[in-house]
Amino acid sequence: MTTDTRVLTRMKRSWGEVKRKRWAYAFISPFYILFAIFSVYPIIFSIYLSFTEWKGMGPKVFVGLENYRRLLGDSVFWQSIRNGVILFFLYVPIMTLLALVLAVILNAKFVRFFQVFRTMIFIPYITTMIAAGFVFRMMMNMKYGFFNILLTSIGIPPVPWLENVWWARISLSLLVMWAWLGYNMVIMLAGLQTISKDLVEAATIDGANPVQAFFRITVPLMKPIILFCVILSTIGSFGLFSEVYSLTVGGRPMNATLTPIVYIWQQAFQHYKFSYASAVSYVYFAIIVVLTLLQLRYFGREE
């Protein structure tokens, strides 16, 4: 039997299988149709759009790589990338450590009513971020905010929480930690419950104290979960939107808290530069992919 005959035979069999299961495919087809319309088509269209000049109306003018060339010299975009890196180091290590410690405490046998504490810590995650950011902005007001009233009451001068570049970044980091700590803690807690308690008990019998058992038993076994949380937090550091708009009104002061997602939104829906926003979004996507692969390569490898 020749190669062409084999190919035709396989095609006939495949087509016969499709005809036999046509009703099953008909029932699942709505999902794929909607997925193609609302996911595949926008992706393809935005890729094409990044090579054109279009402001939402009128004809699209093909400009090739002009949007990407312009992006290389866009200082505001690269500042947003730098802000994402700074925010990552400001809150991700602290939040990850706190989430792990809280998960270990709630996973201990001596803690009663741990479901109540877990719910209380998780509640900020399900709170509307716009409302939470507005409340934080009032509490961090330079003159009348709760934090500065508390500081002045003990003799410490008021802190420009939202007026200073670095204090604004710290304020945003505090809001993000408050909102996402419970989410990371629940993931850590789920990971801890898959670790056999016999390992920790065996280490304790061999003379290890709780701190040594934590760093030499719990942390190495939790490495995949910690890496997962760090990767999610990395993506989140560059993708903050509601937190930025509700707390620092779009990246103030001096774009110190501007993130790439906010910058893309501004270019598309404030300046109507849809083509340029598409180019920015794909460069941002490539940066996130590279960072994720680097984390998986250098922190996810087996010892």
Confidence of residue 99 (pLDDT cuts 50, 70, 90): very high
DSSP string for residues in 142-186: TTT-HHHHHHHHTTPPP--TTTSHHHHHHHHHHHHHHHHHHHHHH
Amino acid at 223: K
Examine the pLDDT at 300 and tell me if it is beyond 80: no
Provide mean pLDDT across the span 31-35. 93
Provide mean pLDDT across the span 148-165. 93
What six digits make up the tokens of 281? 């979004």
Q: Which stretch of 10-14, 126-130, 181-185, 250-254 has the lowest confidence by average pLDDT?
A: 10-14
Examine the pLDDT at 141 and tell me if it is beyond 70: yes
Residue 3: the pLDDT is 62
Residue 22: the pLDDT is 80
Query: Where do the structural domains in the chain lie, given as residue ranges?
Result: 3-49, 70-299
Closest by CA to 285, choosing from 251, 256, 261, is 261
Q: Write down the mean pLDDT value for the chain.
A: 89
Closest by CA to 283, choosing from 104, 9, 46, is 46
Residue 164: the pLDDT is 94
Greatest CA separation found in the chain?
Answer: 92
- CA distance readout (Å), 96 to 18, 84, 227, 235: 49, 17, 10, 14
Confidence of residue 108 (pLDDT cuts 50, 70, 90): confident
Higher pLDDT, 69 or 9: 69
- CB atoms under 10 Å from CB of 218, counted, come to 21
- CA distance readout (Å), 34 to 18, 160, 238, 247, 278: 21, 48, 29, 36, 22
287 class by beta-carbon count within 10 Å (0-12 exposed, 13-18 middle, 19+ buried): middle
CATH domain 70-299 topology:
MetI-like fold (1.10.3720)
Examine the pLDDT at 303 and tell me if it is beyond 50: no
Examine the pLDDT at 26 and tell me if it is beyond 60: yes
pTM attached to this predicted model: 0.88
